[in-house]
Structure 1
Amino acid sequence: MFRSGTLAETAKRHRPAVPVAAVDAGTGHRHPLAMASDVVADLRHLRPEIALSWQRSLLCGLTPDEPREPATIPEIDRSSRLLDAARPILEQLADDLSGTDFCLLLANRNACIVDRYSSGPGIARQLDGIGAVVGRPFTEELTGTNSIGTALELRHGVAVNGKEHFIAAMKRFSCYGQPILHPITRRVEAILEITSPVQIAPRLWIPIINRAAKDIEHRLRAGARLAEQRMLAAYEEACGRGRRPVVVLGDNLVLANPAAVDLLHIADHALLREMAAQPGAAPRWEQNILLESGLRSAVTFERIPDSNGAGLFDITVLDRPRLPVPRLAGVSGPSEALSDQLANWRVRRAPLVIAGEAGTGRTTVARQLAGSLPMATVDPITLAKETAAGEPTWPSPGTLLVVDGVGTLPDDVASRLRRLLRDTQTWFALISSPLVSMTGPNAELVSLCLNRVQLQPLRYQQEDFTQIVNEILRRLAPGRTAGLDGRTWNALRGQPWPGNYRELTDVLHFALNHNPAGPLRPEDLPPAYRRVHSKHQLTHLEQVERDTILRMLEDLQGNKARTAHALGIGRTTLYRRLRELGID
């Protein structure tokens, strides 16, 4: 977000020296710079909150000519708690509006229209023409400034009149939207909006819409109390069946018996909620999951009727999980085939390249490849120097020669080493940096090895992070039963881990020395690891995207314009992704 005037100054700096035609003669489309100039001029005449909304729309890459189409149109649950609470209020309002040119729209917490009441076919057809139909999202990101998306952003009622709409097709309407707040959390639960043609401003209806929004909030509160009673009854019945961990998760209420409190971490609650919210989830199902503590557990889920979607989880702890082994790139979870592959390559004395970032376990894989056979490690520059001075000293037959440090060698060293290894009968393995970043003679060097193991960096393994941490703890402190508290898990998950497994092992070793007995707390970690670096936990795909952008910025000496062009995206999109991915 930026002040008025900044956009004008930016447009002025990038204005071409030659005049820009308002309409492209070849395509008939308006030139983007001409549209930007119009938008900048309009900003000066808008109310401050509307001007800021226009700026947000511009930052999302919108143009006034047309809205952005949503990727998907979600199905609307006609029996949802929101619609049950709102329906009587909306029907009464619709009767009051009969014979006028007004229309009522109800949108959910995601700004998606879930219900619409029109006073007549004329206004209904006009709204159909701008896509204001049930199922269509009306966020600012998709449709610019409007009284649904903008009210959601501002968290208070807002009127958008005629030309204040960002999208040109919407300037024919005047609208007012009022947020409906959840009775307990006070989060925005929905938006109630009234729309009319621009010549009939809905100002007189604003107090009535505000009153209707309050009435819907009261009905939501009454429904929440009834749902809580049903949740409590289901919880007490389940607890009476035995001593297993039992937890009930609702929108704003969590019930857990002592066994569940001892077993489940905050992250486990999030996992259970996510599983229960899967589209098309059955009212009852059973599934095995891995808890934050590393324990495998069987979970039985049962939806509680008439409880606003709440569910009961009955949990049975199974045996402990198997110990993890190094991960192959692109594979989620332990690779069961890796040990068999290494044994096969050992029998055939096949050359192998082990690629990955520092600390991902490349040397560990090399030791597993050698098995019970001897292993000799040499750095490539030393080997190349020995070659230049004469015949290098090769290890005895049956010994695995590990060349550690391939991938960033000077071109002449990489070429010399390739010729040397191509002509030798010695069994060797190359430890390399990630193959994706390799070019020239270094790439030719690793091409000697048709067999390859690519190890994932730790930041790509959020799904297995708990299992990895618990295995390291078992190795560092055998027999220790106390784990990590929830805050420590959050702190560790939020780290970028450039040193991968080695860095994580060092951090846990430090924490165990600081607190050898009880659960590890954030204050037991080294000071630099006690806070979360990223605003949210990045997914595997976001981590890959972040690494790609960083690598491109490095290759182009930090030039963001060239980076955006090389990635095939606009500069606005690049700046937004830099911010969202935590890249300074």
Structure 2
Amino acid sequence: MSSTYQDLRVGRARPEIESSWTRSRLSGLREDGTPALRQGPVAGEGALARAAAPVLERAQAELDGTQFALVLADREARIVDIRCSDKSFRRALATLGVVPGVRLGEDQVGTNAVGTPLETRQGLLVRGAEHFMTAFHTFACYGHPIIHPITRRLEGVVNIGGLTGAEHPLFAPLVRRIVRDIEDRLQLDSTRTQRRLLAAFQAAVRSSRRAVMVMGQGVVLATPSALALLEPADHAAVQACAEDTRADGEVNHRLILADGRTVGLRCTPVDGAEGVLVDIVPERLGRRGTDAVDHATGWPLLVVGEPGSGRTTEARRAAGSDAATLDATDAVWQGERDWAKGMAALLEDDGPPVIIENVQLLTEQVTALTARCVRSARRRTVLTSTPGEHLDGVHAPLAALCNARRDLVPLRRRRHEIPRLAQSMLADAVGPGGAKLSADCLRVLAAQSWPGNLAELRRVVQFLAGRRSVGDIIPSDLPASHRGVPAPASPLRQAEREIIIAAIDAAGGNRLQAARALGVSRSTLYNRMRALHIH
């Protein structure tokens, strides 16, 4: 048994290691647990990867013939690049699951020389049994954080690793030199980028009354008119709109500000600068917002949306607060016969509108009976359903019967609305004068994928309200599941993602039909959906 391991067993671990172990246990990890390393997207085209590539290539040449590996990870502890000349050592890393795209955050695998330096913003040597998880005890690693020299933002970490006992006293100075070279290249790249952003901003600003912003990596420029128009909560929404801008053209958005006003956003990419020029145009008074409901719409009305997307809210908005509600899920415990009798009796009487929820759960026989009752109903009727091919199949009689249809856009497709929605939900939960979401927290929330839509957002906000009733809520207050920010996607990956989503939407959720429309097999479509985090 090594002396290091014996020291650890009797409580003589270094203070920084003991602190990291404590954080690891608070994250719910176990020393004998299996590392949950899931491969995600690799941000191989961003400023960090560009700055690091030649530096790592030179360092790899210097380490040729050794059993050491260099690892570059981003600020979320996701591996961007691995450089290792020794094939057997690289295979050992891959067998453990350490490959580009996986996260080595301290909250995920415990004490390690990637996640822990990111947590503490300090360099750290982790020897063998100092790793929290037993699975990493065969490695000795040194990691050092990369700090952007201009923005002072934590950009990532460089790690060098070898087998336990093979650690070299030059680990720390070697990695510090690599980090310094990467930081120098980040500064050069940032200087060129900032000059382009500044030039685009100056060219756009012809009048101080024009509300214009330029947003790039670590840089935000705004006219006084833009600053006067936007509240702190609005900045995260504008940034979400800017991040949705493709590299090949202009994108327009409509945004409801925190004070209730509606503005138009014209987002134009800045060539060669990874930034966006945003023109903010207030709308004239009297124009109806996108959330307005036209009560003169045809009836019956079909409201279609994913779980948690607000189908019930939209149905009640259309039908009115006095509407009666039936839910197809009740047929499970009531029995189809009794549920159908109650539905028929309700629709035969005069009275306020009726909402029939979750019609996607109705069997073919009950669907046919419901369609007949709705057709002859004496009340206005609203039906709610999930999207999918069932609306063209089993439930087609109900869908065809509706004179109007509203398809609710998933929350991940309208990220610019998330800051306003989250602030509103929090105000309802804590009351006036209570806690507020900081701008950084709103940016993190806007970056999430939200597969559970509004219902998931509401659960997260309620968690925050229970944790902090006053003061500013910051990213560390968020639940661990919603604390990370996904790595930025390249324009190509973003375009591919949007094409696949559009094909699935056009196919009504039928993925086999979407695969045929795209000219690929269903398995290929599923693989690309997993790689692009399409739920």
What TM-score does the superposition give when structure 1 sets the normalisation length? 0.53
Identify if the C-alpha distance between structure 1 residues 40 and 59 changes in structure 2 by more than 3 Å, giving closer, same or farther: farther
For residue 341 of structure 1, the aligned residue among 310, 314, 319 is 319
Kindly indicate whether the alpha-carbon contact (under 8 Å) linking 1:247 and 1:312 is maintained by their aligned counterparts in 2: yes
Aligned to 2:201: 235
Kindly indicate whether the alpha-carbon contact (under 8 Å) linking 2:204 and 2:212 is maintained by their aligned counterparts in 1: yes
Task: Specify the code of the residue in structure 2 equivalent to 1:298.
Answer: G
Kindly indicate whether the alpha-carbon contact (under 8 Å) linking 1:284 and 1:300 is maintained by their aligned counterparts in 2: no
- Residues of 1 paired with 2:178 and 2:76: CA distance? 20
SS at match of 1:225: helix
For residue 111 of structure 2, the aligned residue among 125, 145, 148 is 145
Aligned to 1:89: 55
Consecutive unaligned residues of structure 2, counting only runs of 5 or more, are 294-302, 327-345, 354-378, 384-414, 446-453, 467-476, 484-535
- Residues of 1 paired with 2:313 and 2:150: CA distance? 46
Identify if the C-alpha distance between structure 1 residues 334 and 465 changes in structure 2 by more than 3 Å, giving closer, same or farther: farther
Kindly indicate whether the alpha-carbon contact (under 8 Å) linking 2:32 and 2:133 is maintained by their aligned counterparts in 1: yes
Instruction: Check if 1:199 corresponds to 2:165.
Output: yes
Instruction: Check if 1:168 corresponds to 2:146.
Output: no
The aligned runs of 1:451-490 (5 Å cut-off) are none
Identify if the C-alpha distance between structure 1 residues 579 and 167 changes in structure 2 by more than 3 Å, giving closer, same or farther: closer
Kindly indicate whether the alpha-carbon contact (under 8 Å) linking 2:208 and 2:223 is maintained by their aligned counterparts in 1: no
- Residues of 2 paired with 1:466 and 1:189: CA distance? 25
Aligned to 2:459: 544
Identify if the C-alpha distance between structure 1 residues 550 and 277 changes in structure 2 by more than 3 Å, giving closer, same or farther: closer
Kindly indicate whether the alpha-carbon contact (under 8 Å) linking 2:246 and 2:269 is maintained by their aligned counterparts in 1: no
Kindly indicate whether the alpha-carbon contact (under 8 Å) linking 2:429 and 2:465 is maintained by their aligned counterparts in 1: no
The aligned runs of 1:24-173 (5 Å cut-off) are 42=9, 44-70=11-37, 73-77=40-44, 79-173=45-139
Aligned to 2:149: 183
For residue 317 of structure 1, the aligned residue among 274, 282, 288 is 282
Q: CA deviation at 1:272?
A: 2.0
Kindly indicate whether the alpha-carbon contact (under 8 Å) linking 2:237 and 2:419 is maintained by their aligned counterparts in 1: no
Say how many residue pairs are matched. 370
Aligned to 2:233: 267
- Residues of 2 paired with 1:234 and 1:123: CA distance? 48
SS at match of 2:21: helix
Deviations, residues 437-468 of structure 1 (Å, cap 9, x unaligned): xxxxxxxxxxxx99999xxxxxxxx9889999
Q: CA deviation at 1:353?
A: 7.6
Aligned to 1:219: 185
Identify if the C-alpha distance between structure 1 residues 138 and 230 changes in structure 2 by more than 3 Å, giving closer, same or farther: same
Instruction: Check if 1:290 corresponds to 2:255.
Output: yes
Identify if the C-alpha distance between structure 1 residues 245 and 334 changes in structure 2 by more than 3 Å, giving closer, same or farther: farther
Identify if the C-alpha distance between structure 1 residues 161 and 184 changes in structure 2 by more than 3 Å, giving closer, same or farther: same
Stretch of structure 1 that moved more, 105-114 or 234-243? 234-243
Structure with the larger RCO, 1 or 2 (CA within 8 Å, 6+ apart): 2
Deviations, residues 215-243 of structure 1 (Å, cap 9, x unaligned): 21121112111111101111222234997
Greater radius of gyration (CA): 1
- Residues of 1 paired with 2:308 and 2:142: CA distance? 49
Kindly indicate whether the alpha-carbon contact (under 8 Å) linking 2:51 and 2:182 is maintained by their aligned counterparts in 1: yes
Deviations, residues 315-336 of structure 1 (Å, cap 9, x unaligned): 333334537779x996659967
Task: Specify the code of the residue in structure 2 equivalent to 1:543.
Answer: R
Deviations, residues 465-503 of structure 1 (Å, cap 9, x unaligned): 9999xxxxxxxxxxxxxxxxxxxx98x8754546xxxx7
Deviations, residues 146-193 of structure 1 (Å, cap 9, x unaligned): 100011111100000011112222111110001110112323211011
Instruction: Check if 1:301 corresponds to 2:267.
Output: yes
Task: Specify the code of the residue in structure 1 equivalent to 2:22.
Answer: Q
Q: CA deviation at 1:65?
A: 3.3
Stretch of structure 1 that moved more, 296-305 or 124-133? 296-305
Q: CA deviation at 1:337?
A: 6.0
Identify if the C-alpha distance between structure 1 residues 426 and 272 changes in structure 2 by more than 3 Å, giving closer, same or farther: closer
Stretch of structure 1 that moved more, 328-337 or 43-52? 328-337
Identify if the C-alpha distance between structure 1 residues 259 and 175 changes in structure 2 by more than 3 Å, giving closer, same or farther: same
Consecutive unaligned residues of structure 1, counting only runs of 5 or more, are 1-37, 346-350, 355-421, 430-448, 454-461, 469-488, 508-528, 552-574
Identify if the C-alpha distance between structure 1 residues 283 and 264 changes in structure 2 by more than 3 Å, giving closer, same or farther: farther
Deviations, residues 46-98 of structure 1 (Å, cap 9, x unaligned): 22211221222222222233444356511332x32112211222122111111
Stretch of structure 1 that moved more, 214-223 or 333-342? 333-342
Identify if the C-alpha distance between structure 1 residues 546 and 80 changes in structure 2 by more than 3 Å, giving closer, same or farther: closer
Q: CA deviation at 1:118?
A: 0.5
Q: CA deviation at 1:41?
A: 8.2
- Residues of 1 paired with 2:226 and 2:464: CA distance? 42
- Residues of 2 paired with 1:264 and 1:156: CA distance? 36
- Residues of 2 paired with 1:252 and 1:531: CA distance? 27
Task: Specify the code of the residue in structure 2 equivalent to 1:274.
Answer: A
Identify if the C-alpha distance between structure 1 residues 120 and 428 changes in structure 2 by more than 3 Å, giving closer, same or farther: closer
Identify if the C-alpha distance between structure 1 residues 427 and 184 changes in structure 2 by more than 3 Å, giving closer, same or farther: same
Task: Specify the code of the residue in structure 1 equivalent to 2:41.
Answer: P
- Residues of 1 paired with 2:419 and 2:136: CA distance? 50
Kindly indicate whether the alpha-carbon contact (under 8 Å) linking 1:62 and 1:68 is maintained by their aligned counterparts in 2: no
- Residues of 1 paired with 2:7 and 2:310: CA distance? 48
Q: CA deviation at 1:207?
A: 1.0
The aligned runs of 1:327-366 (5 Å cut-off) are 332=310, 338=316, 341-342=319-320, 352=324
Kindly indicate whether the alpha-carbon contact (under 8 Å) linking 2:39 and 2:101 is maintained by their aligned counterparts in 1: no
Identify if the C-alpha distance between structure 1 residues 109 and 255 changes in structure 2 by more than 3 Å, giving closer, same or farther: same
The aligned runs of 1:339-488 (5 Å cut-off) are 341-342=319-320, 352=324
- Residues of 1 paired with 2:93 and 2:49: CA distance? 21
What TM-score does the superposition give when structure 2 sets the normalisation length? 0.58
Identify if the C-alpha distance between structure 1 residues 204 and 260 changes in structure 2 by more than 3 Å, giving closer, same or farther: same
